[in-house]
């Protein structure tokens, strides 16, 4: 599960959107207690933005879906506990915004033109993992380094300086 937000320099907000993450990973041993972990993930990111107008109040839920490829260095610091650090690259697959009024009613879902957003994102990832037999429970933070919006359109301009920020809680199973 993802808890994502879009961050802008010098702006503090609490507009977290919940989404899903899923995919495949493997660990390639480098030495005792050290491995490289490549992954391929489907990652749902975005944010909520509250609005108040003459016509009502509610939230816009921005949904950005990515195919993401993180590569991390994993260090086993104890028998069942590890830390990871690395980077990710991601490719935008879809962009939508959902208008939800103050009563929770959906007023509409709009598919946004992907050309108004950067098709490629990249950033840093760090986290912790706990292994129980063939199961891994992980907590990680992904910090986007690239602005996701493009100039030249209303939706792109609104998010021109925004970057992805995601906390993920994951459960993985080794085959």
Q: pLDDT digit string (tens) for 11-30?
A: 556 688 899 999 999 999 99
Q: HEC states along 35-91?
A: EEEEEEEEEEEEEEEEEEECCEEEEEEEEEEEEEEEEEEEEECCCCEEEEEEEEEEE
Segment 35-51 mean pLDDT: 92
pLDDT number for residue 105: 86
Tell me the whole-structure pTM to 2 decimals: 0.88
Q: Return the CATH number of the domain spanning residue range 2-173.
A: 2.40.160
| Domain segments of the chain as ranges | 2-173
pLDDT number for residue 95: 93
Exposure on the CB side of residue 80, measured as CA atoms within 13 A: 8
The separation between the first and the last C-alpha atoms of the chain, rounded to the nearest angstrom, is 21
Mean pLDDT of the chain: 90
Has residue 72 got a pLDDT over 70? yes
């Amino acid at each position: 599960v993802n808890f994502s937000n879009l961050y802008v320099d010098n702006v503090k907000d609490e507009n977290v959107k919940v989404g899903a993450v899923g995919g495949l990973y493997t660990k390639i041993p480098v030495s005792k207690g050290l491995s490289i972990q490549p992954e391929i993930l489907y990652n749902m990111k975005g944010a909520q933005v509250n609005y108040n107008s003459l016509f009502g109040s509610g939230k816009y839920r921005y949904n950005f879906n990515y195919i993401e490829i993180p590569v991390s260095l994993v260090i086993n610091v104890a028998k069942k506990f590890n830390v990871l650090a690395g980077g990710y690259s991601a490719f935008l697959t879809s962009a939508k915004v959902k208008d939800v009024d103050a009563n929770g009613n959906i007023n509409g879902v709009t598919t946004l033109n992907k050309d108004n957003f950067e098709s490629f994102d990249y950033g840093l990832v760090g986290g912790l993992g706990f292994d129980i037999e063939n199961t891994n429970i992980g907590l990680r933070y992904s910090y986007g380094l690239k602005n996701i919006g493009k100039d030249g359109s209303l939706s792109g301009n609104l998010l021109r300086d925004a970057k992805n920020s995601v906390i993920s809680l994951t459960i993985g199973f080794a085959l």
